[in-house]
């Protein structure tokens, strides 16, 4: 990677593991844990490939999002699922201290150290989405989530889309789809903490139909995504 840019990769929903002390709460929830509500299938594999390709730090969680949602701010109504929402405040605080706060702190420390060294942070948070939700098909292969109010993010997101189009024109790549990149989340929180010149945050959303299509196809798509990030990061570092 060209000197100057600092790539950080995170994966908030990398697994559906339930810590031993909370397994009693999840009795009977196996099907939900195995679904997109429990984790983002494929996201961790993509995050690992990105981190490995660019020798970038990877901060990832394999604890189910149904215990605590790492991509939501404290106080957000979706921070806790229906499984943990009614726990005593002391128990919620214990979960936060054990699983939520260390994760968020590690991510923020990576950003703080890089910006203190005057390096431009490009943060990619890896996610995936179900092909059909509530009976409606999602008509995209890749979603790139960003904040259009930040010129550098807007420009780099357009550039990333171009890179993907050049590498695989068959892919349908949409911006701020199927979610808005400026809604509550880890990247949104970090944007409030760090200047638009020092921090650029993206969430990449991959349609899970590619993850489920078989290892060969999924591996090939990951290779294309890694190559596109290489195009993006090297161009941003010039």
CATH of the domain at 142: 3.40.630.40
In this structure, are residues 73 and 40 in contact, taking their beta carbons and an 8 Å threshold?
no
CA distance linking residue 146 with residue 64, whole number of Å: 24
In terms of Cβ atoms closer than 10 Å to its own Cβ (0-12, 13-18, 19+), residue 42 is buried
- The percent of residues in the chain predicted with pLDDT above 90, rounded, is 94
CA distance linking residue 77 with residue 93, whole number of Å: 15
CA distance linking residue 147 with residue 187, whole number of Å: 9
Q: What pLDDT, on a 0 to 100 scale, did the predictor assign at position 236?
A: 54
The predicted-structure confidence for 141-171, as pLDDT tens digits, reads as follows 999 999 999 999 999 999 999 999 999 999 9
Q: What pLDDT, on a 0 to 100 scale, did the predictor assign at position 70?
A: 98
The partner residues of 127 in beta bridges, in order of sequence, read 205
The predicted-structure confidence for 71-129, as pLDDT tens digits, reads as follows 999 999 999 999 999 999 999 999 999 999 999 999 999 999 999 999 999 999 999 99
CA distance linking residue 154 with residue 175, whole number of Å: 10
CA distance linking residue 213 with residue 115, whole number of Å: 39
Q: What pLDDT, on a 0 to 100 scale, did the predictor assign at position 1?
A: 42
- List the Cα angle 176/164/156 in 5-degree steps: 55
- For 176, the domain range is 5-236
In this structure, are residues 124 and 229 in contact, taking their beta carbons and an 8 Å threshold?
yes
What band does 5 get if pLDDT is binned at 50, 70 and 90?
confident
Q: How many domains does the chain have?
A: 1
């Amino acid at each position: 990677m060209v000197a100057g840019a600092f790539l950080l990769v995170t994966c908030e929903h990398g697994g559906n593991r339930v810590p031993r002390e909370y397994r009693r709460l999840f009795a009977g929830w196996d099907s939900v844990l195995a679904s997109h509500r429990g984790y983002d299938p494929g996201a961790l594999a993509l995050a690992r490939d990105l981190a490995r390709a660019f020798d970038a730090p990877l901060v990832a969680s394999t604890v189910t999002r149904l215990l605590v949602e790492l991509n939501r701010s404290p106080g957000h109504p979706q921070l806790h699922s229906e499984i943990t929402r009614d726990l005593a405040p002391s128990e919620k605080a214990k979960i936060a201290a054990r699983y939520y706060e260390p994760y968020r702190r590690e991510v923020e420390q990576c950003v703080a150290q890089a910006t203190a060294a005057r390096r431009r942070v490009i943060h990619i948070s890896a996610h995936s989405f179900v092909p059909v939700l509530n009976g409606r098909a999602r008509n995209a292969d890749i979603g790139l989530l960003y904040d259009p109010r930040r010129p550098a993010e807007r420009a780099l997101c357009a550039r990333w889309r171009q890179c993907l189009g050049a590498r695989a024109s068959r892919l349908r790549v949409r911006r701020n789809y199927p979610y808005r990149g400026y809604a509550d989340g880890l990247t949104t929180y970090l944007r409030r903490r760090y200047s638009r010149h020092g921090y650029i945050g993206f969430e990449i959303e991959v349609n899970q139909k590619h993850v489920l299509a078989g290892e060969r196809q999924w591996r090939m798509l990951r290779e294309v995504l890694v190559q596109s990030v290489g195009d993006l990061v090297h161009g941003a570092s010039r």
